Structure 1
């Protein structure tokens, strides 16, 4: 079984589509590791704020089969393809890492380039897997987050799934600018 980290994002009817994605992932893969849900401004275009989170799964699917299955889930949830790279999305699910694979696997670049470039990926990944190491940089995600310097504001939001709260906005001072000390 491969250990896989996925990035989920939505800025159109956000709660509905994130819940649908979590349901589909749990139905397919069983128990999920789930980070807090974060809200962030759109990056690369003017649009509504996004909800973002990272999910851990274990799978026997190949990278290619997993990618095709994730695209099917996106499509079933109203994802429109063929538009600009940066645009509003009902649902975006990306493979961040697949075990320690590095390079192009089944047409997918691993690890995904944005893992250590975007706060909305790195912070939830550092929260969920602080001691796991980036396959290329060979540094723990918590360390990468603590040393992250780009200014991309984001914050935790209240979010519940299947009767349990997975995220809370009640952590004082909890924004990307000053929350690095909370990741250990």
Structure 2
């Protein structure tokens, strides 16, 4: 079994889509470690705020197979792929970390994800995996978050109905 860390986000009915996505992750993978959900400003475009959280799962799937499963999960939630990359989302789920693994694959599969530099990915991951080490930077997530420009900023916590 391999531990994967995922980033989940939505700015279209986020409470519904994120709660449902977590339920599907639990139904398929069993125990899921999930962070709190926070409201973050949209990045890369003007739009409604996103709600983001992180999840840790254990699976025997390889990264490509897991990425395919996650794309199908997004599709079940109405994810549109015919719109600009930076746009509103019903559900966005990305593999952010997979142990010490570093890879670039087909499509959007890149581990670690470049988005780890943003608060909306780093803050939730640092909550559930503070001791995890960024495989390129060689720094613990807790330390990366403490050094982040937005570390002292308050973000609203969002309650998801599960």
Instruction: Please say whether Structure 1 and Structure 2 have the same fold, judged by a TM-score greater than 0.5.
Output: yes
Flag structure 2 segments of 5+ consecutive residues without an equivalent: none
> Partners in 1 of 2:100 and 2:71 — Cα distance?
22
Provide, for residues 53-100 of structure 1, a one-character-per-residue CA deviation record: whole Å limited to 9, x for no partner. 000000101111101110001001010112101000000000001221
Partner residue, 1:130: 130
CA gap 1:81/1:7 in 2 versus in 1, 3 angstroms? same
> Partners in 1 of 2:23 and 2:151 — Cα distance?
32
Tell me if the contact between 1:63 and 1:105 (Cα under 8 Å) persists in the aligned partners. no
Partner residue, 1:64: 64
Partner residue, 1:142: 142
Number of aligned residue pairs: 161
Structure 2 matches for 1:17-166, cutoff 5 A?
Answer: 17-105=17-105, 108-115=109-116, 117-149=117-149, 155-162=155-162
Provide, for residues 22-69 of structure 1, a one-character-per-residue CA deviation record: whole Å limited to 9, x for no partner. 011000100111111010111111111110000000010111110111
Corresponding residue SS for 1:155: coil
Q: Is residue 11 of structure 2 the alignment partner of residue 11 of structure 1?
A: yes
Corresponding residue SS for 2:155: strand
Partner residue, 1:167: none
Tell me if the contact between 2:126 and 2:141 (Cα under 8 Å) persists in the aligned partners. yes
Tell me if the contact between 1:118 and 1:152 (Cα under 8 Å) persists in the aligned partners. no
> Partners in 2 of 1:51 and 1:43 — Cα distance?
12
CA-based RMSD: 1.8
After superposing on structure 2, the runs of 4+ consecutive aligned residues of structure 1 that deviate more than 4 Å are: 150-154
Tell me if the contact between 2:11 and 2:90 (Cα under 8 Å) persists in the aligned partners. yes
Tell me if the contact between 1:119 and 1:154 (Cα under 8 Å) persists in the aligned partners. no
**1:158 Cα shift?**
3.8
If asked which structure has higher relative contact order (CA below 8 Å, sep 6+), I would say: 2
Instruction: Tell me the TM-score normalised to structure 2 length.
Output: 0.93
